[in-house]
């Protein structure tokens, strides 16, 4: 497994993993022990069909209750963010906006689980990137971060 994230409600997960020699994106439910609320397993695991042009999945984050933001690298291109619907419908699948990430070793996509909230990408230097209103990726700060995530 190369990445794992709980949904904002804690009931589901999205993961990037290499299974049988192939990189993919998987979703499923979290099974809890009813009395102690301890996680006891992952159930109903399914692979999300990823558009072939997206490339190899690097990281995924919940964009909404029905879609994930996927950071993936296609051959000889900088990693890019794509929205992928959990039910694989084409309605919510496609480029997030028109902006292209620069070649800065993007390694993690971050989202709050709200469509109205901005997406962020963390690069290998620890710098955060987000999109402005024109769809261009920019750095909101000048200092690197050691770990990025949303409280939940």
Q: Where are the beta strands (DSSP E) in 12-127?
A: 12-19, 22-32, 39-48, 56-62, 67-73, 80-85, 94-95, 106-110, 120-123
pLDDT tens digits in sequence order for the chain, 152 residues long: 889 999 988 899 999 999 999 899 999 999 999 999 899 999 999 998 887 788 889 999 998 888 899 998 887 778 888 888 887 554 444 445 445 777 668 889 998 888 888 889 999 889 999 887 777 888 988 998 887 877 65
Handedness of CA 102, 103, 109, 110 (dihedral sign): negative
Distance from C-alpha of 116 to C-alpha of 93, rounded to nearest angstrom: 17
First to last CA, the chain: 22
Distance from C-alpha of 68 to C-alpha of 66, rounded to nearest angstrom: 7
Rounded to two decimals, what is the model's pTM?
0.84
């Amino acid at each position: 497994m190369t990445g794992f994230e709980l949904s904002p409600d804690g009931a589901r997960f999205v993961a990037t993993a290499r299974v049988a020699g192939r990189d993919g994106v998987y979703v499923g439910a979290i099974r809890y022990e009813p009395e102690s609320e301890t996680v006891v397993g992952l159930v109903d695991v399914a692979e999300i069909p990823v558009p072939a042009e997206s490339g190899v999945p690097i990281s995924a984050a919940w964009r909404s209750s029905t879609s994930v933001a996927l950071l993936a690298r296609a051959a000889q291109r900088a990693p890019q963010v794509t929205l992928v619907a959990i039910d694989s419908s084409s309605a919510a699948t496609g480029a997030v906006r028109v902006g292209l990430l620069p070649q800065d070793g993007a390694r993690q996509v971050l989202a709050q689980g709200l469509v109205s909230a901005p997406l962020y990408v963390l690069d290998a230097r620890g710098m955060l990137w987000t999109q402005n209103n024109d769809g261009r990726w920019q750095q909101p700060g000048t200092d690197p971060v050691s770990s990025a995530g949303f409280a939940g």
